[in-house]
Each structure stands twice: as C-alpha cells, then as structure tokens.
Amino acid sequence: MKLGVIYFLVSLCISSSHAQQNEGASLRIMKLRENFFIYTTWQNYGGTVFPSNGMYIITDAGAILIDCPWDSTQWQPLLDSIQNRHKQKVVLSIATHFHKDRAGAFNYYKHSGIATWTSADTKKLCIQRNEPQAEFVFQNDTTFHIGNLLMKAYYPGRGHTSDNIVLWFAEEKILYGGCLVKSSEANDLGNINDADVRAWPATIQKLISKYPDRKFVIPGHQSWSDGKGLEHTLKLLSAE
C-alpha cells in the first residue's frame, strides 16, 4: 500500500515491565515499557467476564490512546487516570477496527476534544452499522508523528474483520495487533461473526514476515506476556 505520513502537532493542528497498577475492579493499567502502558477492562461475553486490552503512549505532545475500554463506564476513568498519573491529556485516539471494544467511545472522545482516527475502511463499516465514527480517516498505510513518537498504521489483510489494522512502533519493536491477534491463552478464535477465516492465516503470515524483530505482540484480549500471539493465532486457525 502507498505510505502516508501524518504529523500531529502540540497545538492539535493536523497536517497530512509489567508492573501492575489497579484502578479498581474494572480498570487495570500495566506498564509495558517506558511511556507504553496496557490498559484492560472487562465485559460479560458468553456468560464469562472477559478481558479486553488497549494501549496508551505518553509523548511530549500529549497521550495517544489506542482503541477504547470495552466497559463504557471506564471511558472517563481512563482519561482521568492518564491525566493524574502523567499530567497529560489524551490528544489522539485511533481504533484498530470497527467493533465496540475498539471504536465504541469515539463520540465520547470527540466531545472530550480528542482527535479521533480510523482507516477509511473502518469508518465505512461504522457508518454501515450505525456505530460511532472517527472524525479523521487515513486512506492507506500511514505513519503518524505525534511529538517524539513514530507510529505506523498497517493493513495486513482480512482476518478478525475486513478492516483490521495493526500499529507498529519500530524503535520499541512493539506490534499492537488488536483482535487480529489471539493471545496464547486463547482456546479459540472468539467472535468470528465478521471474520474471514480463510484469509486470516495469510494475513498473520504477512505480519510474521514483516516484523521479524518484534519484541512485544499485544493482542486485543487476554495475556501478551510470551510474545507468541502470532504463532498461536496460526495454530488456532489451522484447527478450523
């Protein structure tokens, strides 16, 4: 895909360790490495209370939020926690696909003055499903420059959904896979109502080849501690 570049300035003018900290029963924040934090919330899914992961990054231009809490009661507490911990406001939010556990907070974030982003494909699906939509879209694989942070949005192909993207942080070698990637804890593929199970293996293989030096792979749900989410996703797909 053609690579785009977007610069996000301090003025919000847009131009083209696992140290656990608990925020209460419904929000958990864990430090991944310097300035990178994984947050987890829970929802009842299929009769089981199930975890959902997102990530935020602290930059010198403000905090960047990837996806959103699955538990909507934690949308504001997460923003408050980032402000209290880091003395930073969230300035940009990006969702990795159109489902509620990724993009559901967009209207709330927009009203909070946060710049909201998705791929054009995700916005189309949000419109079709009458779901909250981002204010800004990118058409192709895109690099975001936010303060001192470089974040690359990449579409590897169909999998969990037709629009799922990943985010790559080259300096830190962190691959945020979202729900395209299954945790090594997962026993199955989870929600496949919008999945393309036949295309999914090739999509994962593409990620394995593209990011051979990855140190962290963050799935949309459950643990990321062993970094083997891509390989485990292929194993689950081979059983389909």
Active site residues: 97, 99, 101, 160, 191
Between helices 200-210 and 229-238, what is the axis angle to 10°?
160
DSSP strand pairing (142-146 vs 4-8)? parallel
Phi, psi of 172 (to 5 degrees): -90, -10
The one-letter amino acid code at 127 reads I
Phi, psi of 84 (to 5 degrees): -70, -40
3-state SS class at 104: coil
3-state SS class at 226: coil
Tokens of 50: 């199930």
> Residue length, the chain?
240
Phi, psi of 235 (to 5 degrees): -65, -45
3-state SS class at 225: coil
Q: What is the DSSP letter of 198?
A: T
The per-residue DSSP string of 129-152 comes to TT----SEEESSSEEEEETTEEEE
